[in-house]
């Protein structure tokens, strides 16, 4: 692989609580887990950080992550160039360049094209995973992340394209497997259909995660949490326009296909797993489309 992950030494310097000795303990544990793939040292460090330096919790999260990625490729597939361009022309998915005063990165998602015909639920989840995974390997972990959903233009026609089983797996991944510290989730430009979205996802979320969700009646309310200067100029903020950021995003992804191919190869081998898979991620569900009243 010609792609180079961020130097792990920078991560040790960034957070002194991520100790090389603890990463080595996890690395030795990995050698005794024949079903798990080989991992880069920076990946192990990222999982340890996301689990607040708890080694045993990191072990579970690592297993969850790769098990989920293996058993549900429809959510983790690397889109080809045509699919990627189409998806990124419909939905904006980007880690913004300015952090909050707390040092948290802002992950913004919004519709660029309001036509539901251009919205593909599975492809959009894949793009989210591609963009966030590439960011982690290029930049390393962050103190925390806030997720911002701009729901402007979102309609029942978009919601009808959701797949409940896949949505559950995606939410499980975020809660139980993703190497990221999610601090809060904000919804702006709230539309009426968002009530239906909330009713769908509430049963899937742990209580503390559901309490992170905030629906803002105004941008003034939102900016009490996320300063305006952290947002794109489309919102009156201090960073580039969404279109420019998305163009940069697309270019970065297109030149990183060697990374995506390598990362996609990191899978579990259930034939080599010792004992039963403890995670529900390894259980295949029947995919059903949502019926919207």
- List, by residue range, all CATH 3.40.525.10 domains of the chain: 81-254
- In tens, the pLDDT along 86-105 reads 999 999 999 999 999 999 99
Distance of CA 101 to the CA centre of its chain: 22
pLDDT at 289: 40
Positions in the chain short of pLDDT 50: 282-293
pLDDT at 196: 92
Residue 20 neighbours by CB under 8 Å, 6+ apart: 12
pLDDT at 290: 38
Q: Widest CA span of the chain, in angstroms?
A: 54
pLDDT at 291: 37
- CATH top-level class of 81-254: alpha beta
Quick one: tokens of 109? 């998602």
pLDDT at 278: 54
Closest residue by Cα to residue 255 from 123, 108, 130: 130
pLDDT at 3: 85
pLDDT at 285: 37
Range 84-87, long-range pairs (CB < 8 A, 24+ positions): 84/127, 84/130, 84/250, 84/253, 84/254, 85/250, 86/118, 86/120, 86/123, 87/120, 87/123, 87/124, 87/126, 87/127
β pairing state of 91-95 and 145-150: unpaired
pLDDT at 279: 53
Quick one: tokens of 84? 């990627």
The DSSP secondary-structure symbol of 239 reads B
């Amino acid at each position: 692989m010609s792609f180079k992950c961020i130097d792990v030494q920078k991560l040790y310097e960034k957070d002194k609580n991520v100790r090389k000795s603890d990463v080595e303990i996890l690395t030795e544990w990995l050698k005794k887990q024949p079903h798990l793939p080989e991992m880069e040292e920076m990946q192990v460090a990222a999982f340890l950080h996301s689990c607040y330096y708890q080694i045993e919790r990191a072990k579970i999260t690592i297993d969850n992550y790769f098990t989920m990625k293996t058993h549900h490729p429809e959510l983790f597939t690397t889109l080809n160039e045509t699919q990627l361009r189409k998806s990124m022309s419909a939905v904006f998915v980007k880690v913004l360049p300015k952090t909050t005063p707390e040092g948290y990165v802002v992950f913004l998602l919004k519709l660029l094209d309001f036509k539901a015909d251009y919205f593909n639920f599975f492809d959009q989840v894949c793009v989210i995973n591609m963009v966030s995974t590439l960011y982690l390997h290029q930049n390393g972990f962050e103190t925390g992340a806030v997720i911002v959903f701009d729901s402007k233009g979102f309609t029942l026609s978009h919601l009808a394209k959701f797949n409940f089983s896949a949505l559950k797996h995606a939410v499980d991944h975020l809660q139980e497997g993703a190497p990221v510290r999610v601090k809060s989730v904000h919804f702006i430009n709230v539309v009426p259909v968002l009530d239906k979205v909330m009713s769908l996802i509430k049963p899937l979320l742990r209580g503390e995660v559901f309490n992170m969700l905030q629906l803002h009646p105004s941008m003034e309310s939102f900016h009490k949490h996320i300063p305006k200067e952290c947002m794109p100029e489309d919102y009156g903020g201090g960073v580039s326009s969404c279109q420019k950021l998305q163009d940069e995003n697309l270019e970065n992804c297109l030149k990183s296909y060697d990374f995506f191919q390598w990362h996609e190869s990191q899978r579990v081998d259930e034939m080599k797993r010792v004992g039963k898979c403890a995670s529900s991620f390894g259980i295949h569900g029947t995919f059903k489309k949502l019926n919207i009243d």
